[in-house]
Amino acid sequence: MTTDGMVGLTPTFPNKKEKVMNKYLILSDTVADKKNVKAGDIVELDIDEGKALVNYGKAEISTAKETKKESNRSVGLETSEAPRPKKRTKK
């Protein structure tokens, strides 16, 4: 049986020996890759699972690069932008 003449019955990935991963933006809370994921997360999924989530409307292919959150822990230093923390007064 071949799918050459049939429209819509194309295999997602013909060679199952290699797993190809894509990054997907999660649109609503769901389970992906046997893990709970929240809306707004960018996760790397297998093509088959990713296409299933896209068809359900729970994910879309991510085109944005994942950015790391910058942490500035220098609170109260002279070079810090944050104000000094308030200290407790003695009784």
pLDDT interval class at 88 (50, 70, 90): confident
CB atoms within 10 A of CB 46: 16
pTM of the model: 0.53
Token match 């003695």: residue?
A: 90
Q: CA-to-CA distance for 75 and 80, rounded, in angstroms?
A: 6
pLDDT in tens, 30-81: 999 899 999 999 999 998 899 999 999 999 998 876 566 677 676 667 777 7
Smallest Cα–Cα separation from 50: which of 12, 80, 6?
12
pLDDT interval class at 84 (50, 70, 90): confident
CB atoms within 10 A of CB 85: 7
Q: CA-to-CA distance for 30 and 88, rounded, in angstroms?
A: 45
